[in-house]
Structure 1
Amino acid sequence: MNIVITGGAGFIGSNLANELCKNHKVLVIDNFDNNERFSNNKRKYFGTYKNLLEFDGLIYSANLLDDEFYAMIDSFAPNVIYHFAAISDTTVYDEEIVFKSNINTFYKIIALAKKHNAKLIYASSASVYGDAPSPQTVGLNEIPKNPYAFSKLTMDKIAKDTGAVGLRYFNVYGKNEFYKDTTASMILQFALQILNNNSPKLFVGSDKIFRDFVYIKDVTNANIAAMNANGGVYNVGSGKARSFESIVDILQDLLIKRGILKERLQKTYIPNPYTNAYQFHTEAKLDDSFSYRPIYSLEDGINDYLDEIIKIFNNK
């Protein structure tokens, strides 16, 4: 099949591209990092060639806001469109740029999918649930707390009844997230702190902050399963909430077991500056009608990821 992956040089997109190119003709279209930053000093674009060193397909560089982005997709005549390109930083509060980038452009993606009778699979987000009680369930208590989350919920509404599949990712971690900079998972950030022999820094009350952490290999499998899913919105998580304290403990125990760390480092607790826009407990309610099922527990995922983390630490 001809498969387009927008934002395919980013974290989730590149993992999917590297897998799908083994059996399909894949076009990755991405803006790529150009060192531009938002007013909060966060990077605008996370795509990088470094995520595509294993990729054997076509690559095209274009901005989501430019006509050539859509012209290239159109000329490729895709059978499947995976749409990841977006402003994904939840701390960007410029509503105009977030909505123009995430909402306005989505109408064009849907039109292209319709024109080519292509299956459309797009990135939604668990952030749409805001403070919803766990387990978070599609269609219930969807009250976004930032422009990014609102844009994703709006995309879900736009895609309704089109046959498109929206995947609400919970806290994804794994290979190729390093280039997300400060928005990389706390699993990677804690690991690098520990490998630097620095006390891991957690927010005060972290023993009561629980998230649904899902490994990138499970997320890739979910995206592949989505090709055969009925149109609709589905959660993609592990289905189990774990604390940030657990992450630090798992990392330190694994590093001790491997002889890299002599003993557990003492944790340091700092104030949480994001309390007004923070999700304190997330846990995905998985849909029985969607064939995706997670394989990796948090322990298994971190253990599988650890060699990559150590390589990042040694090369940074």
Structure 2
Amino acid sequence: MIIVTGGAGFIGSNLVHELNRRGRTDVIVVDNLTRGEKALNLADCVIADYYDKDDFITLIEADEGLGPVEAVFHLGACSATTEWDGRYMMRNNFEYSRALFHWCQDRRIPFIYASSAAVYGGNSVFTEHPEHERPLNVYGYSKLAFDQYLRRYLDDLSAQVVGLRYFNVYGPREQHKGGMASVVHHFSRQLRESGQVRLFEGSDGYADGEQRRDFVDVSDCVRLKLWLLDHPEVSGIYNCGTGRARTFNAMAHAVIDWFGHGEIEYIPFPEHLKGRYQSYTQADLSQLRAAGCDLAFNDIETGVRNYLDAVADSPAIMPS
């Protein structure tokens, strides 16, 4: 049995879908379906069981077993970088992770969890070392807090534990994320509505639309997770990105090229994001490569084309 928390979410549902494609249907999904539209992400998947996230953590804290578990992929979290309720964020992103980590260690179950590149904040160096970690919001801090907690145990683990620091992930099954969805999602919607995509004007020394991010295809994130499952000797905290920063202009042009039409409009940089915005990110993959992972990551031209081809064939996961 494989457990996927956040299994109805963006990365989680793509993982469940890929597990199914590989013949695995013995999957327990854990999520919060208060927003019922997330269920559409699983409509074409087969799962063995489902638990609400609150019911699941109650089982974990009661130290109850769930039968033979091969691995836990922990993706459930509050991912809203604009959420400033620290108590809520720490309960969801730190305390839940801590409880599940110890439950897995007690049972010698591999635990592969979602960290975030948000831990780096405004730094220009993105290596998995404490001196480069300075988050700009409470979401980033909640992820860093658990990474720091885990580091205390890395030299004495009973089973594999891996934290993946996701950079800017895009791909199918993110339509429920609203404002937190990728720029590909937003650009696609904007093009259909107005024939234009909107980018921020220059900021932090960057020209209009020239802010740079490491945009990573969700399918590559899933492939990396399953590579880790196949390599239980690998533990630690690793970046999950392409290793190449690309501009928002380049991403906009990739979307425009797929649609075959469109223009770019530059809008004023929002006041509320000043000082709280990552204008540049680029994953350093040195530690991941040193761990033996040689997976190649899609460039944005390939990833965007695959994404938009996929959602065009599946209206339920079309950006809206």
Q: State the TM-score bracket (shorter-chain normalisation).
A: 0.7 to 0.9
Instruction: Determine if contact 2:114/2:166 at 8 Å carries over to the other structure.
Output: yes
Cα RMSD (Å) of the superposition? Answer: 2.2
Partner of 1:31: 32
Code of the aligned partner of 2:115: S
Aligned equivalent of 1:48, options 19, 38, 43: 38
Partner of 2:50: 60
Please give the secondary structure, in 1, of the residue aligned with 2:284. Answer: coil
Instruction: Determine if contact 1:201/1:268 at 8 Å carries over to the other structure.
Output: yes
Please give the secondary structure, in 2, of the residue aligned with 1:208. Answer: coil
Please give the secondary structure, in 2, of the residue aligned with 1:235. Answer: strand
Partner of 1:268: 266
Alignment of 1:77-96 (within 5 A): 77-96=68-87
The CA deviation string for residues 12-57 of structure 1, in whole angstroms up to 9 with x for no partner, is 001101111343321111111347xxxxxxxxxxx72100122112
Cα 1:281/1:80, change in 2 over 3 Å:
same
Aligned equivalent of 1:195, options 184, 192, 195: 192
The CA deviation string for residues 245-278 of structure 1, in whole angstroms up to 9 with x for no partner, is 111112212222xxxx3xx424232323312210
Code of the aligned partner of 1:61: Y
Partner of 2:109: 118
Partner of 1:42: none
Deviation at 1:232, TM superposition (A): 0.3
Cα 1:175/1:314, change in 2 over 3 Å:
closer
Partner of 2:308: 306
User: What TM-score, normalized to structure 2?
Assistant: 0.86
In structure 2, C-alpha distance between the alignment counterparts of 1:52 and 1:34, rounded to whole Å: 13
Identity, in percent, stands at 30
Instruction: Determine if contact 1:171/1:211 at 8 Å carries over to the other structure.
Output: yes
Code of the aligned partner of 2:167: F
Aligned equivalent of 1:297, options 280, 296, 299: 299
Partner of 1:255: 259
Deviation at 1:114, TM superposition (A): 1.5
In structure 2, C-alpha distance between the alignment counterparts of 1:87 and 1:222, rounded to whole Å: 22
Cα 1:268/1:69, change in 2 over 3 Å:
farther
Cα 1:64/1:141, change in 2 over 3 Å:
farther
Partner of 1:212: 214
Instruction: Determine if contact 1:222/1:292 at 8 Å carries over to the other structure.
Output: no
In structure 2, stretches of 5+ residues that fail to align are 203-207
In structure 1, stretches of 5+ residues that fail to align are 36-46
In structure 2, C-alpha distance between the alignment counterparts of 1:147 and 1:285, rounded to whole Å: 23
In structure 2, C-alpha distance between the alignment counterparts of 1:65 and 1:153, rounded to whole Å: 26
Aligned pair count reads 297
Deviation at 1:59, TM superposition (A): 3.2
Please give the secondary structure, in 2, of the residue aligned with 1:91. Answer: coil
Instruction: Determine if contact 1:203/1:271 at 8 Å carries over to the other structure.
Output: yes
User: What TM-score, normalized to structure 1?
Assistant: 0.87
Cα 1:98/1:282, change in 2 over 3 Å:
same
Partner of 1:167: 164
Deviation at 1:133, TM superposition (A): 0.8
Do structure 1's residue 225 and structure 2's residue 215 form an aligned pair?
Answer: no
The CA deviation string for residues 214-249 of structure 1, in whole angstroms up to 9 with x for no partner, is 001111101111221511001000111011111111
Deviation at 1:146, TM superposition (A): 0.9
Code of the aligned partner of 2:27: V
The CA deviation string for residues 54-89 of structure 1, in whole angstroms up to 9 with x for no partner, is 211223231348644536983243120110111111
In structure 2, C-alpha distance between the alignment counterparts of 1:64 and 1:154, rounded to whole Å: 21
Cα 1:67/1:248, change in 2 over 3 Å:
closer
Do structure 1's residue 182 and structure 2's residue 179 form an aligned pair?
Answer: yes
Partner of 1:75: 66
Instruction: Determine if contact 2:162/2:237 at 8 Å carries over to the other structure.
Output: yes
In structure 2, C-alpha distance between the alignment counterparts of 1:204 and 1:87, rounded to whole Å: 28
Partner of 2:9: 10
Please give the secondary structure, in 1, of the residue aligned with 2:275. Answer: helix
In structure 1, C-alpha distance between the alignment counterparts of 2:221 and 2:56, rounded to whole Å: 29
